[in-house]
Amino acid sequence: MIGFVVVSHSATLADAAVDLALQMVHDEAPPVRVAAGAAGGFGTDAAAIAQAIDELADTDGVLIVTDLGSAVLSSSLALDLRESAVPVRISDGPFVEGLTAGIVRAVTGGTLDEVTAEARRALDAKRQDDVSETGADAAPAAAPVEVAPAVAVAEVTLVNEVGLHSRPAASVVKTVGRFDAAVTVTNATSGKGPVSASSLIGLLSLAAGKGDVLRIAGDGADAVAAVTAVHDLAADGFGEAA
């Protein structure tokens, strides 16, 4: 599994970001190390970051998630100070959203490149309905994915009050990760999608609320089982419906 090094100028901020991200995965969490604060104060320490990387030497790769720009500089220096040869990427995604999205993707067995990409595009779900002060549309949301002809298709109406928010989306990602299938989800009510069911950010970009109809499609050896599992998860309200 991919490991994470969280680099922040503030230990309190880093611990809070990690706690929030791990709420999405509970006991299936990937290994995470925090390198925050310098000499017990405010700042970053390249030597501490290097040590954190080395502690994750037995993982399939390490993603460093940073807060401010100077944390990136310290992380780059740490790559020269570390002793291990584990593959490392420094994320250019947002701190909180990127860490959360990356951890959820890592739990499903995502590669270092896949986890890095998911963290990078972690603001897409926020940008989709954004409008600038000049009235121009902001950057588009998560791009729809190309899909193969579906082996299995199902539709389900969201019944929980908040719809497909972060925790249910994370549960969908974890569910499809158990199957040998490529699963996509479309908000059939709004027409948004399809997006990969393996992407937390993609699912959030659907902006699917209570009463919206999701179209779930799957291709692959376990397509029927995967689509059925996601359908049943949503039909049950992700455990949130009264």
The model's pLDDT over 106-117, given as tens digits with 9 standing for 90+, comes to 999 999 999 999
- Kindly tell me if the per-residue pLDDT of 184 is higher than 50: yes
Encoded tokens for 73: 């500089």
pLDDT, averaged across the chain? 89
- pLDDT > 90 fraction of the chain, expressed in percent and rounded: 78
Query: Residues 78, 46: contact at Cβ < 8 Å?
Result: yes
- pLDDT > 70 fraction of the chain, expressed in percent and rounded: 89
Pick the residue with more confidence: 146 or 44? Answer: 44
The residue ranges of every structural domain in the chain are 3-123, 152-239
Pick the residue with more confidence: 20 or 142? Answer: 20
Alpha-helical regions (H) of 122-188: 124-127, 166-176
pLDDT for the residue numbered 149: 62
**165 a catalytic residue:** yes
What does the chain come to in residues? 242
Residue 175, burial from CB neighbour count under 10 angstroms (0-12, 13-18, 19+): middle
- Kindly tell me if the per-residue pLDDT of 241 is higher than 80: no
Encoded tokens for 74: 């310290």
**If we measure between CA atoms, which residue out of 123, 129, 149 comes closest to residue 202?**
123
| Half-sphere exposure (Cβ direction) of 34: Cα atoms closer than 13 Å | 18
E strand or H helix that includes residue 193: strand 192-196
pLDDT for the residue numbered 134: 38
pLDDT for the residue numbered 113: 97
pLDDT for the residue numbered 213: 97
With a CB cutoff of 8 Å and minimum separation 6, the contacts of 76 are 90
Angle between helices 95-107 and 166-176 (to 10 degrees): 30
The model's pLDDT over 117-161, given as tens digits with 9 standing for 90+, comes to 999 998 887 775 543 333 444 434 454 555 556 789 999 999 999
Question: Quick one: CATH architecture of 152-239?
Answer: 2-Layer Sandwich (3.30)
pLDDT for the residue numbered 107: 93
pLDDT for the residue numbered 26: 74
CATH class of 3-123: alpha beta
pLDDT for the residue numbered 151: 85
Query: Residues 153, 216: contact at Cβ < 8 Å?
Result: yes
E strand or H helix that includes residue 196: strand 192-196
